[in-house]
Amino acid sequence: MTSPVRIGIMGCADIARRRMLPAMAAADDIEVVAIASRTGPTAEELAGVYSCRPVTGYDRLLALPEVDAVYIPLPLALHARWVEAALRAGKHVLVEKPLTADPRETRRLLDLASSRGLVLMENVMFVHHHRHDAVRRLLERGAIGELRSFHADFTIPRLPDQDIRYQPELGGGALWDVGLYPVRAAMYFLGDDLEVVGAVLGASPGRRVDTSGAVLLRRRNGVTAQLTFGLEHAYASRYQLCGSTGRIQVDRAFTPPADHIPVIRVDSGTDSRELPLAPDDQVRNSLKAFTAAVRTRKADDAVVHSCIRQADLLALVSEGGSWK
């Protein structure tokens, strides 16, 4: 029987508490052995819930020989520092998206992981949900004819003023948080040969980061992707693929709960049908992809390439957009 991958948690962020730690605790191929925080009481409180070792300080977590891999849900501005420290300590790394806000740093860290025989994986979970594969199969079968355009929206309501996503010094902003999802979805369906035609970023009054944005991407064959995202909007999480004879629509596309029954709507001419699928757990699936890679000590080349290309596109959007 294969031993579980022993994981240490670097930080007690909300995403770790709500989604990742419960999924890790339920997995039969993962053992959470330690939880680290900057302060002892925080680590002790969360470690007590999962019956593991509390650690004060991230360096001390990386020094533990019983830790095979670390999960890093820290703010974006801290990713590069602690991903590098973890890799140099000989640990595999699962880091919350995006890996970094600098394509050169992203490449450097991925190269460092490869050179050391370690896995570095960016935790973009929605791509591991089976609904998107089902949509891709519909496209391949010609369910909507020739693909003409892709449209995606991911917007969330206003956050508490102290939320880190409003803090530029921590890597905040709508683009890096919610904008990544529609950009990655466009890559998923249209491929990596996308160019940024235009981008606009906006900020609500008094905010020091972008809180909304719109992007137009284009594939070489003329297919376009129109994307919108924002932090202070009515909730939306959807995409639509328009073809020469119909369209495919998906709602609750990016962060569905594990018990959600996903539905794909297909409109073709005067015919409209809804295709329900079995529930799927993208958090569990993402963790399984990580542990599988750790066992082989080899990251998936396609996943690495997508991470790099995503970093390039997001950087171009960031440079091309204007919000001041």
Residues classed as catalytic: 97
Encoded tokens for 32: 């959470």
**Of 27, 32, 25, whose CA–CA distance to 10 is shortest?**
32
- Distance from the Cα of residue 151 to its chain's centroid: 19
- The string of DSSP letters for 66-126 reads T--EEEE---GGGHHHHHHHHHHTT-EEEEESPS-S-HHHHHHHHHHHHHTT--EEEE--G
The three-point CA angle 125-88-14 to 5° equals: 35
Question: How far apart, in whole angstroms, are the C-alpha atoms of residue 54 and residue 9?
Answer: 10
**CB 154 within 8 Å of CB 254:** yes
φ/ψ (deg, to 5) at 11? 110, 155
Cα distances from 58 to residues 11, 193, 224, 302, in angstroms, run 8, 38, 43, 30
Radius of gyration of the chain, Cα coordinates, nearest whole angstrom: 20
What residues does 70 pair with on adjacent strands?
Answer: 8, 93
Residue 238 CB burial class (10 angstroms; 0-12, 13-18, ≥19):
middle
